Amino acid sequence: MIGKLASGIVGGMVSEGARQIAQGKRPSIDELLLTPANARRLTNRLSEMRGAAMKVGQLLSMDSGQILPTEVSDILAYLRESAHQMPRSQLVGVLQQAWGDDWQRHFKQFDFNPIAAASIGQVHRATLPDNQQLAVKIQYPGIRRSIDSDVDNVASLLQLFNLIPKQMKLQSVLAEAKKQLHIEADYMKEADALTRFSDHIGSDRRFSVPQVLTPLTTADVLTMTYLDGQAIESLTDQPLNVRNAAASALLELSLREVFDWGFVQTDPNFANYRYQANSSQIQLLDFGATRVVSTEQRIAVRTLLHACRQGHRSDIENAAAQVGYLDETDPPIYRSGIVSLLLDVSEPVRTNGRFNFGRSDLADRMRDRLIQMRLQEKYWRLPPADVLFLHRKLGGLYLLLKRLRARIDVADVLYRLNSV
């Protein structure tokens, strides 16, 4: 597959190069590599390895440093929005393998049209004989068997297109992508994570999570109660006090995940949050990407958070080294840049009174600072994988609060949580 793609790319480069030279231009190799035609070739190949492509792309972009070119980010966004649907015959085959040839006996009704589709599976609605509504998450066949080879092929494609810095050591990223995908492709593990998260939520009426139907759950099919909320973005039409209450609840939940429970749902996709207006509940979905944070890491991140709140650069630098952002080989200018970046990141915490997420340009400033650092220092070391997943969690939370145009006193929320 890679060889065939390479041949197509070379042919495209020769044709495009000849065309531009005829026009009096002197195109660079990079310009010839990512022509529209070659971008289409790359998209087509990545679509065949959707789950692996998405996971590698997430890991490479979770530090907000724009490691991948805009064209590749656009391709990954396209893949997110264009998840394919299993043919009915294939879908029935998965259900027969899970529940037997007479699988339909379990249901009063089963809707063959998915209500959601993602990189490794799709979700269907079903109704039990007692009229209980269910959501049935069904995995695409063969996903688990192809994870390792797909991740390796995605890396080969990115290297073939010269889309990742030569200084970056990909092995740790690839190993983490494989590990995480194997976890996400085991729906029994997700069922356990969902139950554990539900136990942590306990009696907190601000949130609800689906309940697992264990007799109808396998490694390939996860069956749970259906939650009927609307997209979390529906909150944007609500009054400010309603938006602020939801934003405060989401912030508190995220902090408890990291610092109290050490058990974090790291996928910040807005589709994983729903809002039930009648009960004012936030409904939490999709626990495939749940990760455990070690006690040592929680202590290190808490120390860094407090150092950032105090604003002393030497304390921030020492705490950043404990988390894994820095080591003794880093030059002073890079260490100073990381401290400045962390001060930017912690701006909501250091703000007196309410922080206006809706008007914040924090994400843009962070991106610009990272790009500048990397252009000047040509430094491409990624933090540890656990830290990257926390980036993903907190970065997604920031974007959600910005979408809700929330104005909340972040420092006050921290103060009310004794564990933080």
Summarised one tens digit per residue, pLDDT across range 340-383 is 999 999 999 999 999 999 999 988 888 787 777 766 655 556 77
Sign of torsion over alpha carbons 40, 42, 44, 50: negative
- Which pLDDT score is estimated for 125? 97
User: What percent of the chain lies above the pLDDT cut of 70?
Assistant: 74
| Catalytic entry in 63, 150, 267, 286 | 267
The answer on pLDDT for 398 being more than 50 is: yes
> How many whole angstroms separate alpha carbon 124 and alpha carbon 110?
8
Q: Which residues contact 100 (CB under 8 A, 6 or more apart)?
A: none
Range from 173-177, 189-193, 391-395, 410-414 carrying the lowest mean pLDDT: 173-177
Asked whether the beta carbons of 117 and 136 are under 8 A apart, the reply is no
- Which pLDDT score is estimated for 32? 37
pLDDT per residue over 238-275, tens digit each? 999 999 999 999 999 999 999 999 999 998 788 899 99
pLDDT per residue over 82-130, tens digit each? 666 788 999 999 999 999 999 999 999 999 999 988 778 899 999 999 9
CA proximity to 122, closest of 130, 113, 133, 131: 113
Q: What is the pTM of this model?
A: 0.82
Q: Is 148 a catalytic residue?
A: no
